[in-house]
Amino acid sequence: MSKKVTIYDIAREAGVSTATVTRVFRHDPHVSEATRVKVQQIIDAHDYTPSLSAQNLEGGRTRTLALVLPVVSNLYFNRIFDAAYWEAEKNGCSVRLFQTMENQAISPEIVNELIRCRMDGVLFAGSIWSADRDDLNVALERLGKYMPVATICPDDVSLECICIQSDLVNCSRLPIRHLHTLGHRRIAFLGGSMHSRDTSRRGVGFLEQLRLMDLPDDPAYHVDAGYDMESGERAVLRMLSGLDRSRWPSAIVTFNDLVALGVMKQLKKMGLKLPDDMAIIGCDNQFFCAYTDPSLTSVDLHPEEMARSAVRELLLARESSSRSFAMVREATLVVRESCGAQLGFRKL
Amino acid sequence: MSKKVTIYDIAREAGVSTATVTRVFRHDPHVSEATRVKVQQIIDAHDYTPSLSAQNLEGGRTRTLALVLPVVSNLYFNRIFDAAYWEAEKNGCSVRLFQTMENQAISPEIVNELIRCRMDGVLFAGSIWSADRDDLNVALERLGKYMPVATICPDDVSLECICIQSDLVNCSRLPIRHLHTLGHRRIAFLGGSMHSRDTSRRGVGFLEQLRLMDLPDDPAYHVDAGYDMESGERAVLRMLSGLDRSRWPSAIVTFNDLVALGVMKQLKKMGLKLPDDMAIIGCDNQFFCAYTDPSLTSVDLHPEEMARSAVRELLLARESSSRSFAMVREATLVVRESCGAQLGFRKL
DNA sequence: CCAGGTCGTGAAACCGATAACATTCCCTAA
DNA sequence: TTAGGGAATGTTATCGGTTTCACGACCTGG
């Protein structure tokens, strides 16, 4: 690597002070044309660019937001990251990603790291779903002393931060109502892990909806099914093989589209015709939903919009000192073939 | 935000010099136990963490690698990012992502930004596929003056950097050979855009393989099909409707699994049974391949391994001054239902 | 008894920028 | 003629650390 050229080198060679070099860079009008040209030439000749580290140190900010989530390779978080990235970019900021893996609690190590990096703000997505509420609030409060904090989370209980909530009410209500309209009465929920606040809230919301519509809330219709395809396959097999065929549900709602993918594979393996023998509704409206066979009806929580809102609020919070804030982006249902909507009403 | 506490605050309060505080932090043995304890107490009491910006400035390095790619939400790049992230993490480094979108050339702006950030190394994946070779080498050479450069790219022509090559030879050979073994003779390729070096090389490689095996290399069997599902749908429709049914291929190889998804949807819409009426082989071995109907045979280029190798070599290159390096990770074929392997040999 | 070494610690330079403040120069109006 | 003002530029403190080097205290061996 070649010796790095600094602002001092430029200043010396141009016969001016470093202040003037900075002015040229900043397009400060208080520089004579002659000086500007001369300095610019030296800058160009040396391919000089001011060091970001030095600027950060001097400026006391990094123009970088942290995004903490379990894994980016998960499609849902993927979309959050992408949206946050561009929203930050639009505002001259960058996003630094922290992956916590299966560890869904917010560890002291990661808090330390965030502080060390002097981020301009931090957005938590998913990585706090299973954290103990008290631990979580302690961690958020500590972080809050150093930077604005935002979360994309399922909680309706307000945390001490910018809180962008998933619309879990409609996430349960929309598919059930739609299936009900289509004539379904026995509806099952295959979802997540009961260790996660998100999932358990979804499970609770699901049961509430069933009762609200006077539908059977058989506990056998509510199975712990993880988050991925393999889990979906196993869960649906477990559920159905434990039930007399007469008690089988006529429709299944899943925690997400990956689980739905597994469920569909397993059902086909069992010789069922979809959606005639079983209706399916997933969640997240992933890119592949239009390309499954049958195409998959799915709830869209609009993670991109939540991420963009969170980033905007974080950037705003750098200036103002408003600490707390909450909003919900309403979920929507995207109807495709897997729920049997095309088949019209029917009695089961 | 609370006033930031610096090393000076700690030093003053502990009645020592900043040098000693640093020593305590670094677990330098040349500190008396009494001093160590006293300083550590003050550090803990104030929740002090040294500023990364200051450390970076002083140290002259950032312990951060740049990863430049078109979009992370693309599943292929997604996996590259994830693998690079953990490999860097394992070595005490972080990865900063730069997305170039559709702009596959390497712009001077991004080069400037990389230099400004004083990255410890940069890995290009995909974002350079369509760049003009000369422009590319100029940019890489300029960057090379500041940091080690690596690429994950389809080129067999050695670039002036660490060059991790995709195994495009086998990427063409494996599916064709497999299909040939199964009895297929008329094999089509739906792939990418001819503006990309990667795609055009794959197209060329495909034709070469066909000729090598004495199979018809009808130009009608080679269609520009973009990179996503919609493109796949349209491309296969365009290809088949332009051909008399007697000249239809019996198998289709696609640029990637997304295109394959679109192709399968379109073929089903046309009433074909898969894989009986048409065999399909995709590329990338994405997570959903086992869950399509029929499940999708696919080539795996092992992007994760390539990313990990690239990161390792970049980190190594920080120390040594070895500039150029090349390696290939051999591609493999993952056989599932869509190619009809289960159906045994047949004559078409 | 003293040269020489080790240990713990502090002073100060340095990393590469920015920005507040100071200075110089020149022009204009009283 | 000169005070005053503005434009162009320089001086210097500062951001928050790390590191080199020097120094004093204490110990040890000749």
Domain total for chain A?
Answer: 3
Question: Which residues on chain A are in Cβ contact (under 8 Å) with B293?
Answer: 264-265, 268, 292-293
Q: Is residue A144 part of a domain?
A: yes
Q: Which residue of A has its CA nearest to B318?
A: A1
Q: Is residue B293 part of a domain?
A: yes
**Phi, psi of A250, rounded to the nearest 5 degrees:** -100, -10
Residues B179 and B288 in one domain: yes
Instruction: Indicate the pLDDT class of residue A348, thresholds 50, 70 and 90.
Output: very low
Residues B140 and B95 in one domain: yes
Burial class (CB in 10 A: 0-12, 13-18, 19+), A347: exposed
Residues A179 and A294 in one domain: yes
Task: State the nearest residue by CA to the C1' of D9.
Answer: A20
Q: Which amino acid is at B121?
A: G
Angstrom distances, CA of residue A317 to CA of A80, A87, A211, A303: 20, 15, 41, 21
Instruction: Indicate the pLDDT class of residue A226, thresholds 50, 70 and 90.
Output: confident
Q: Is residue A56 part of a domain?
A: no
**Phi, psi of B102, rounded to the nearest 5 degrees:** -70, -20
Question: Which residues on chain B are in Cβ contact (under 8 Å) with A287?
Answer: 229
Q: Cα–Cα distance between B3 and B13 in angstroms, integer?
A: 16
Instruction: Indicate the pLDDT class of residue A208, thresholds 50, 70 and 90.
Output: confident
Give residue-wise pLDDT tens across range B274-283: 999 999 999 9
Question: How remote is the C-alpha of B67 from its chain's centroid?
Answer: 9
Residues B163 and B310 in one domain: yes
Starting at the earlier edge strand, list the strands of the sheet with B332-334.
Answer: B222-223, B187-190, B251-254, B279-283, B297-300, B332-334
Instruction: Indicate the pLDDT class of residue B187, thresholds 50, 70 and 90.
Output: very high
pLDDT of residue A322: 64
Q: Which residue of A has its CA nearest to B229?
A: A291
CATH of the domain at B253: 3.40.50.2300
User: Look-up: residue for tokens 């779903």?
Assistant: A129
Residues B202 and B338 in one domain: yes
pLDDT of residue A137: 84
Please state which of the ranges B149-163, B290-304, B328-342 shows the lowest mean pLDDT: B149-163
pLDDT of residue A196: 65
Question: Which residues on chain B are in Cβ contact (under 8 Å) with A264?
Answer: 291, 293
Q: Is residue A160 part of a domain?
A: yes
Q: Is residue B56 part of a domain?
A: no
Domain with B32 in it: 7-50
Give residue-wise pLDDT tens across range A25-62: 999 988 999 999 999 999 999 999 999 999 999 999 99
Q: State mean pLDDT over A321-325.
A: 68
Q: Is residue B172 part of a domain?
A: yes
Question: How remote is the C-alpha of B128 from its chain's centroid?
Answer: 12
Residues B108 and B142 in one domain: yes
Q: What is the 3-state secondary structure (H, E, C) of chain A?
A: CCCCCCHHHHHHHHCCCHHHHHHHHCCCCCCCHHHHHHHHHHHHHHCCCCCHHHHHHHHCCCCEEEEEECCCCCHHHHHHHHHHHHHHHHCCCEEEEEECCCCCCCCHHHHHHHHHCCCCEEEEECCCCCCCHHHHHHHHHHHHCCCCEEEEECCCCCCCCEEEEECHHHHHHHHHHHHHHCCCCCEEEECECCCCHHHHHHHHHHHHHHHHCCCCCCHHHEECCECCHHHHHHHHHHHHHCCCHHHCCCEEEECCHHHHHHHHHHHHHCCCCCCCCCEEEEECCCHHHHHCCCCCEEEECCHHHHHHHHHHHHHHHHHCCCCCEEEEECCEEECCCCCCHHHCCCCC
CATH of the domain at A19: 1.10.260.40
Q: Is residue A278 part of a domain?
A: yes
Number of other CB atoms surrounding residue B29 within 10 Å: 7
Nearest CB to A73; choose among B49, B82, B229: B82
Of the residues A3, A49, A161, the best mutation for testing chain B's interface (the one with the most B CB atoms within 10 Å of its CB) is: A49
Q: Which residue of B has its CA nearest to A71?
A: B82
Note the CA–C1' distance, A6 to C15, in angstroms.
Answer: 10
Instruction: Indicate the pLDDT class of residue A66, thresholds 50, 70 and 90.
Output: very high
To the nearest whole percent, how much of chain B has pLDDT over 70? 91
Q: Give the mean pLDDT of chain A.
A: 89
pLDDT of residue B7: 96
Q: Name the token pair of B178.
A: 């497999």
Q: Which amino acid is at B18?
A: T
To the nearest whole percent, how much of chain A has pLDDT over 90? 70
Tell whether the model's pLDDT for residue B91 goes beyond 60: yes
Residues A287 and A309 in one domain: no
Residues B113 and B75 in one domain: yes
Give residue-wise pLDDT tens across range A245-283: 999 999 999 999 999 999 999 999 999 999 999 999 999
pLDDT of residue A346: 41
Residues B192 and B339 in one domain: yes
Q: Is B322 helix (H, G, I), strand (E, B) or coil?
A: coil
pLDDT of residue B218: 85
Question: Which residues on chain B are in Cβ contact (under 8 Å) with A56?
Answer: 53, 56
Q: Is residue A348 part of a domain?
A: no
Give residue-wise pLDDT tens across range B234-289: 999 999 999 999 999 999 999 999 999 999 999 999 999 999 999 999 999 999 99
Tell whether the model's pLDDT for residue A343 goes beyond 60: no
Give residue-wise pLDDT tens across range B1-17: 667 899 999 999 999 99
Q: State mean pLDDT over B86-101.
A: 95
Residues A187 and A280 in one domain: yes
Question: How remote is the C-alpha of A189 from its chain's centroid?
Answer: 22
Alpha carbons within 13 A on the beta-carbon side of A273: 2
Residues B196 and B258 in one domain: yes
Tell whether the model's pLDDT for residue A167 goes beyond 50: yes
Task: State the nearest residue by CA to the C1' of D17.
Answer: B54
Tell whether the model's pLDDT for residue A161 goes beyond 80: yes
Give residue-wise pLDDT tens across range A76-128: 999 999 999 999 999 999 999 999 987 667 888 899 999 999 999 999 998 67
pLDDT of residue B157: 59
Give residue-wise pLDDT tens across range B43-62: 999 999 999 999 999 999 99
Strand C nucleotides in reach of protein CB atoms, 7 A cut-off: 7-12, 14-20
Nearest CB to B49; choose among A47, A85, A115: A115
Residues B35 and B83 in one domain: no
Tell me which of B93 and B207 has the higher pLDDT: B93
Distance from CA of B136 to the nearest CA of A (A): 17
